[in-house]
Structure 1
């Protein structure tokens, strides 16, 4: 087991109508003048007036800024940073899913650093802190509400970049499963796939002497698959949605990566599918993950066999190679069960950008990969490998 330090400072509150108490939580963590950052879903969920009423009742001044889209844009972040500085904002409330929360984190950094946000995220310049952040989660899946990470897209070249720092952990996150009932079945399924991928990416590791963490991840995977299916079948069931939301949040709790180096290759391979073809992140992962597993199977047979026997109905007596192949088949079947495709060809995506996307996917900062031009540590991949994975994801029969 690798040495580790596990740190999670986020206060998590799950309750019906939690958004009605957001004002008191902002005051608890020192907020006086608040930016309420959101997307259009704040009006669809019907919580807009409830949030404003709670903030006003707490005696807080506020401004609001919307406009967030999937793959949150650097240009919007920069525009809102200037507004926040002029208005002397001291707290940021994110109301939405992962894109809103990630955008809020980038804004929070930009408000207190002399460096441009682009230089911090894309050029790894030092960061000295961020404004405090709170979140109201309206979509279960990304788990940005519990992490110190954000993902921002640069408008000029559509490059997505991860950035992590302890200053980006929210002070609190309010989880109300009722808010996810306004999502379509497809949006719900994408969040479920994103959640499952977080558990899987941390399970795929070369550090295989951390059984406690393996068991936590296996339990999380079984739970999200069980209640993910139930939520698609019974969308009005509150308990099912509660389990999905809690599984989604816990998937990125730092305890899930203790004692190991996670892989995350499939996430980076999926990024350009979201920016070039506007696929939701979860939909892209439902295609990429099985293709990646098929490609690395020769090197990962034992790990996939253990996974399959732990979370799918595969007998312990099943030979290793067969169990590994059955694991991939069962994973694809799960994605189909919740209404997602597992081939790019089924999504009417052409294969003309695969080389460009492969080159871009391995261009990651030093904290992501130890070797320039190589993605992942579980099974290291170069651009040629990634291009083959895209083709496998396009049509796995070839």
Structure 2
């Protein structure tokens, strides 16, 4: 497939690079620092950011939640407009960065920013943004995508625009030292499924993309194995942060077919029932792969041999899916809806209705996952 690949985000990797922010944002800019619940004030990150911005006029906006809501972010949009802020700095994980992308676009939009997601209104202009990453998972720090939730209607929608791609991102592995185990596990699972959505599709003889995807998957398997001893494993944090970034910076998906069905169905689970994003993916992925195995068998066979080191057999694809599920279980991540207290009637009916409402009626690399197929996938994900 013909493709154009361009990633303009400048990556500054390492704790010492937070000080470099002062060189990346002109002192003439009014800067809004956006963050979540305040965890950055419990480690060195907040203080280091503010020190780096000591010569700038700085405003703050806190309280961006996991699965950021438009209701919260619109308050930041008003703050930007009322103070004529002209640069946004996201400090946190993927939710904070996704939320900042929304603010960047919505602040320059003549209307309600939610139209950009719900009505697919084009992003014509956006404020420049940078980020300081503290939680590896989404890759949002160097891509152009954003996923936002509308709490009022239980909608979780995405938009993409090169105008909201961060100008620079500081990747600070040291900031991970105070993260709860649950968030680190979510980072592994999220990065894993990101790679799979671009890899377990159709054979295309894309040697670079396949080879790099397989290397990233093997990284994540090793990181999962080392998880209990991560505090004594050299560079564990560094390797997870860099692997998660590379999983969704556009490179392994360039010129190859992509799926994203697991994400689209998982988004609805998160919006409706509040399941962690990564854990919604762990619920859906094994069931979706089993449902689509006839279309994905060749790549599952390839994955089984090259990633898990399995021997060739008639049921290699099935064994590969089993190993994926075992990987999730090794991290104590549940893979069935009833493990999260959701009944079949509630989950399946509501998720299918939301998929249809949002036009998600032809998912997957072959657009073969219709609402009927999604229902079968959810049925298998029950127990």
TM-score, length-scaled by structure 2: 0.95
Report the secondary structure of 2:242's partner residue: helix
Q: Could you give the per-residue CA deviations for residues 49-101 of structure 1, whole angstroms, max 9, x where no partner exists?
A: 22112111xx1001100111111111222221111111111100000111100
Matched, 1:357 2:351: yes
Matched, 1:32 2:20: no
Runs of 4+ in 1 over 3 A off after TM superposition: 235-238, 362-365
Matched, 1:193 2:189: yes
Q: Call closer, same or farther: CA 1:234–1:339 in 2, change over 3 Å.
A: same
Describe how 1:151-162 pairs up with structure 2 within 5 A.
151-162=147-158
Report the secondary structure of 1:64's partner residue: strand
Distance across 2 between alignment mates of 1:383 and 1:118 = 25
1:13 aligned residue:
12
Kept in 1, the 8 Å contact 2:269–2:347? The answer is no
Query: Alpha-carbon deviation of 1:138?
Result: 1.0
1:53 aligned residue:
51
Distance across 2 between alignment mates of 1:344 and 1:116 = 35
Distance across 1 between alignment mates of 2:154 and 2:168 = 31
Kept in 2, the 8 Å contact 1:188–1:232? The answer is no
1:301 aligned residue:
297
Q: Could you give the per-residue CA deviations for residues 201-247 of structure 1, whole angstroms, max 9, x where no partner exists?
A: 00133362323211111111111221233234323545011111000
2:64 aligned residue:
68
Distance across 2 between alignment mates of 1:17 and 1:394 = 46
Distance across 1 between alignment mates of 2:129 and 2:232 = 30
> For 1:376, which of 361, 364, 369 is the aligned residue?
364
> For 2:243, which of 243, 247, 251 is the aligned residue?
247
Query: Alpha-carbon deviation of 1:111?
Result: 1.9
Q: Call closer, same or farther: CA 1:241–1:326 in 2, change over 3 Å.
A: same
Moved more, 344-353 or 189-198: 344-353
> For 2:267, which of 257, 265, 271 is the aligned residue?
271
Report the secondary structure of 1:39's partner residue: coil
Report the secondary structure of 2:157's partner residue: strand
Report the secondary structure of 1:126's partner residue: coil
Give the total of aligned pairs.
381
Matched, 1:346 2:339: yes
Kept in 2, the 8 Å contact 1:178–1:238? The answer is no
Q: Could you give the per-residue CA deviations for residues 342-370 of structure 1, whole angstroms, max 9, x where no partner exists?
A: 222222222223122023235446xxxxx
> For 2:135, which of 136, 139, 147 is the aligned residue?
139
Kept in 2, the 8 Å contact 1:363–1:373? The answer is no
Query: Alpha-carbon deviation of 1:379?
Result: 5.7
Matched, 1:184 2:180: yes
1:368 aligned residue:
none
Moved more, 262-271 or 43-52: 43-52
Report the secondary structure of 1:145's partner residue: helix
1:104 aligned residue:
100
Distance across 2 between alignment mates of 1:32 and 1:180 = 29
Describe how 1:78-93 pairs up with structure 2 within 5 A.
78-93=74-89
Query: Alpha-carbon deviation of 1:277?
Result: 2.2
Aligned-residue RMSD, C-alpha: 1.7
Kept in 1, the 8 Å contact 2:134–2:175? The answer is yes
Q: Gaps (5+ residues) in structure 1?
A: 366-371
Q: Could you give the per-residue CA deviations for residues 250-270 of structure 1, whole angstroms, max 9, x where no partner exists?
A: 111211111123110000111
Distance across 2 between alignment mates of 1:353 and 1:347 = 11
Distance across 1 between alignment mates of 2:154 and 2:42 = 28
Q: Gaps (5+ residues) in structure 2?
A: none
Kept in 1, the 8 Å contact 2:203–2:299? The answer is no
Report the secondary structure of 2:279's partner residue: helix
Report the secondary structure of 1:394's partner residue: coil
Moved more, 333-342 or 93-102: 333-342
Distance across 1 between alignment mates of 2:81 and 2:96 = 19
Query: Alpha-carbon deviation of 1:157?
Result: 0.9
1:369 aligned residue:
none
1:203 aligned residue:
199
2:161 aligned residue:
165
Matched, 1:4 2:3: yes
Kept in 2, the 8 Å contact 1:274–1:281? The answer is yes
Q: Call closer, same or farther: CA 1:64–1:328 in 2, change over 3 Å.
A: same
